[in-house]
Amino acid sequence: MKGLKAYVKRLEDEVKRRFVGNEEAVHVLTLNLLHERSTALIRAPRGRGKSTLMLLFLRGIFGDDFVVISGASEIKRGEVIARLHIPSLEREGVERVIWSAFVKAPGKGIDEVNRLNPYTASNIYHLLQFGEVWAYGQRYVVGDFVLFANENPGDPTTFTHPPPFYDRFDVSVQLSALSLSEKFRLQKLTESYGSIVESMPQVIDFDTLREARREVAEVEVDVDLRALMNVLVRDLQACVRNRDISRVRPPALCEGCHFVHGVCSMVREGPSERATLVLLNLAKAKEWLDGSVTEDDIYRLAVYALAHRMELVRHDRGVEELERVLRRQRELNEERRARRQWAILERLYRGFSRDLYKLAKEIAVEDLVFAEELMKLEEEWLAKGLVRPEETIRQRLMLDGEL
Amino acid sequence: MADAFVEFLRREASRTKVRRIGSALYIIEGERTERRYRLPTDFIDAILLRREPGEHVVVEKGLIRELRYRIDELESEVKRLRLRSRVLEALLATCIVALILSLFR
């Protein structure tokens, strides 16, 4: 195990030796490598080293044996997925599919994802999610891979890809500009290395990385941290007015809502269930590679797991707004702990108590996630005749929240 | 319930101090920390509790009506008290004059 860690740490070190600044982003990209079919999106304005960082990682793992497709050039389906072997079709009338190098290579890169045309992007959807592709009625199992992509969302020639496309990326990192001292370091680096990408050695091979991935998959994450991830994501998803299917979105949707003070009112579109899975993978990787993972780590990692898969009401503020929402959610969690609400729920799961139920209802009117769990219990109690429909929290929230 | 969820609830319960007095159950709450991050709707806290408001303050129409009503009430109360104060001042002045006159007699 130590040997495998040393390989992964050396990969990170070699990348950091050549890539100035953005150390946390590099570490997150390294952690994200440690699970099957890892996909990472690097976002930045022009000239911040998006492609360089992508190539450094790919070279560090695959040497020269990787395939990069560029959204900037007019790539066709044949280059991304597959094409038909024309002689076989013409002479024998047989549809022989020739799968593209991009599909077959375990090391994949997509340069300028934002310039991929929607048709090409939709071909990549399935590959990212299930590790397989379909063309001309035939299926090719891609299996495990490493994929890095980059984009400049501010690019005027950008295609606006739909949210499900971005949701298929495990993490997104936003590269910041270099500080004054870092610019001096970059100049020194280019003078000493010449081509920074060319100087990157292959420090690990894909089989070794897969071995590391298998070990990481076995890592146990503490139930408190699992709860933290799940509560965090649920807080960002939950909406008493069914935001997911409503045509009106916050803040208009929140007008007059009982939960207008909640974190939910800051979210226009919540994250998918992939968010908790990605957070769990990152937590396992952090435990394996760094020896520990804490609550603070989960909140830091959440920025990278959520930024590209949800939309905030104040999205114009970018990552700063997401950090603000996460701070608010953290404060909410501290309040939950202080009022011992999960302990109250545990006692209610063990058996109905009218006093505790009354207390739980008071908590539920302030906390939608807690209210959801209490409502599930209420259904059982209603069936047993322990509570009356008019006294339930569901009834109260329907009246207050105009469900 | 999923096993991990049960485990999470049990752990939270094990950290909670519970006292039973007679048939009543007391759950002892933890210490609450001061809210650090404010939402735009912390208007009442900002006014009544003198707390630092958030960057933007949003107030509902109903709250404005309530505040206006309270301000009008307070202003009429001020008017009433000012009138009473004037009357008392005049009465006091009369009393002082009467006292001085009575001393000179």
At A107, which CATH number?
A: 3.40.50.300
Q: How far is CA B36 from the centre of its chain?
A: 20
Residue B40 domain boundaries? 3-104
How many structural domains are present in chain B? 1
Phi first, then psi, for residue A131 (nearest 5°) are 70, 30
Q: Are residues A41 and A117 in the same domain?
A: yes
Q: Residue A364: give the domain boundaries.
A: 341-401
Q: What is the pLDDT of residue B40?
A: 55
**In B, which residues are within 8 Å of A334 by CB distance?**
32-33
Percent of chain A with pLDDT over 70: 97
**Which pLDDT belongs to residue A1?**
53
Cβ(A124)–Cβ(A132) below 8 Å: no
* Chain-chain contact of B24 with A355 (C-beta, under 8 angstroms): yes
Q: Which portions of chain A are predicted below pLDDT 70?
A: 1-2, 73-75, 77, 398-403
What total of structural domains would you count in chain A? Answer: 3
Q: Are residues A255 and A163 in the same domain?
A: no
* Distance from the first to the final alpha carbon of chain B: 96
CB A345 to CB B31 under 8 A? no
A328 contact residues in B (CB cutoff 8 A): 37, 39
> Do residue A43 and residue A114 come from a single domain?
yes
- Cβ pair B35:A331 closer than 8 A: yes
Q: Which residues of chain A does B35 touch, with a Cβ-Cβ cutoff of 8 Å?
A: 331
Q: What's the gap between Cα A286 and its chain centre?
A: 15
> Phi, psi (5° rounding) for residue A138?
-115, 150
CA distance A186 to chain B (A): 38
Cβ of residue B39 closer than 8 Å to a chain A Cβ? yes
Q: Do A349 and B28 touch (CB under 8 A)?
A: no
Min Cα–Cα distance to chain B from A254, Å: 12
- From the number of C-beta atoms within 10 Å of its C-beta (0-12, 13-18, 19+), residue B79 rates as exposed
Q: Are residues A243 and A365 in the same domain?
A: no
- Sheet of strand A38-43: strand arrangement: A67-70, A107-111, A146-151, A38-43, A171-174
Residue A42 shares a structural domain with residue A170: yes
Please report which confidence band the pLDDT of residue B34 belongs to, taking 50, 70 and 90 as the band edges: low
Q: Chain A residues contacting B, CB < 8 Å? A: 223-224, 226-227, 256, 260-261, 265, 324, 327-328, 331, 334-335, 337-340, 342-347, 349, 353, 355-356, 359
Per DSSP bridges, beta strands A38-43 and A146-151 are parallel
**Closest chain A residue by Cα to residue B27:** A340
**Which residues from chain A sit within 8 angstroms of residue B16, using beta carbons?**
340, 343
Identity of the residue in A224, A327, A347 whose CB atom sits nearest the CB atom of B8: A224
A330/A353 same-domain check: no
Write down the pLDDT at residue A365: 84
Quick one: A306 and A380 in the same domain?
A: no
CB–CB of B12 and A340 under 8 A?
yes
Interface test with B, best of A277, A334, A363 (most B CBs within 10 A): A334
> In angstroms, what separates the C-alpha of A347 from chain B's closest C-alpha?
8
Task: Name the closest residue on chain B to residue A353, using Cα atoms.
Answer: B25
CA A323/CA A313 separation, integer angstroms: 13
ipTM computed for the complex: 0.76
Q: What are the phi and psi torsion angles at A292 (to 5°)? A: -160, 155
Cβ–Cβ gap B8/A261 under 8 Å: no
* pLDDT at A194 (0 to 100): 83
Does one domain contain both A256 and A114?
Answer: no
Is B27 an 8 Å CB contact of chain A? yes
A250 touches A267 (CB < 8 A):
yes
Poorest-pLDDT segment among A119-123, B13-17, B68-72 = A119-123
* A253 and A330 both lie in a single domain: yes
Q: Are residues A178 and A244 in the same domain?
A: no
Q: Indicate whether A273 and A208 sit together in one domain.
A: no
Residues of B in contact with A256 (CB under 8 A): 60
**B chain contacts of residue A227, beta-carbon cutoff 8 Å:** 4-5, 8
Residues A169 and A258 in one domain: no
